[in-house]
Amino acid sequence: MTVARDCAACGLCRGRLNVVCPDGDPDSPVAFVGEAPGQKEDETGKPFQGRSGKVLDKLLEEEGVPRSSIYITNTVKCRPPGNRVPTAEEMAACLPHLEGELQGRRLIVALGRTAARDLLRREVKLSEEVNRKTTVTIRGREIDMIVTYHPAASFYNAKAKDALRETIRFARTYLGARGSASSTGT
């Protein structure tokens, strides 16, 4: 399910340049889900294109996971003003699109507290839940999920970068031979 380029389901449509649609392999068993597009994403119409995207791309490459082998999206498809956290109403407006994107995946990686909270429908304490496998129900089907730090957290916190690296190793095991040169993982 793709969001229409002229979507007006919430107020975020008034300030956007582009609806930011998913990127990567639409048939991948693994989906990485961020919070919301930033300025670069709004300009390009693709998720994770700015500083956070560069960190994510570098870690994926270092761990032998081509970005093209995973599916990358956000909980909301339009940039919130000032890069603020999306409201519950904005997230609810995009939830049918997000659920359609995630349906049939084997693993969902929630990048950051906001994405995890939106998917799990409860508050999340990253320090207690990072890299612990759980499940989330998407349209009546349970899918494995792992919560990790958003790549932006690694700008200031080496532990966040190490945790994200561990998450990518875990995700690699769901890709098998199709996503990496080495299909071993943690």
Q: How far apart are CA 8 and CA 56, in angstroms?
A: 30
Going by pLDDT thresholds of 50, 70 and 90, the confidence category of residue 8 is: confident
How many domains is the chain built from? 1
Q: How far apart are CA 32 and CA 151, in angstroms?
A: 11
Is the residue at 180 inside a domain?
Answer: no
Is the residue at 5 inside a domain?
Answer: no
Going by pLDDT thresholds of 50, 70 and 90, the confidence category of residue 2 is: low
What pairing do the DSSP bridges indicate for beta strands 141-148 and 107-111? parallel
Q: Which residue has the higher pLDDT, 179 or 176?
A: 176
Range of the domain at 15: 11-175
- Whole-number pLDDT of residue 57: 97
Q: Which CATH number fits the domain that encloses residue 24?
A: 3.40.470.10
- Whole-number pLDDT of residue 183: 36
What does the pLDDT look like over 44-61, one tens digit per residue? 999 999 999 999 999 999
Is the residue at 6 inside a domain?
Answer: no
Going by pLDDT thresholds of 50, 70 and 90, the confidence category of residue 6 is: confident
Is the residue at 159 inside a domain?
Answer: yes
Is the residue at 186 inside a domain?
Answer: no
Going by pLDDT thresholds of 50, 70 and 90, the confidence category of residue 81 is: very high
Is the residue at 4 inside a domain?
Answer: no
Is the residue at 3 inside a domain?
Answer: no
φ/ψ of residue 130, rounded to 5: -60, 135
Is the residue at 2 inside a domain?
Answer: no
Secondary structure (H, E, C), the chain = CCCCCCCCCCHHHHCCCCCCCCEECCCCCEEEEECCCCHHHHHHCCCCCCHHHHHHHHHHHHCCCCHHHCEEEECCCCCCHHHCCCCHHHHHHHHHHHHHHHCCCCEEEEECHHHHHHHHCCCCCHHHHECCEEEEEECCEEEEEEEECCHHHHHCCHHHHHHHHHHHHHHHHHHHHHCCCCCCCC
Chain CA centroid to CA 13, Å:
20
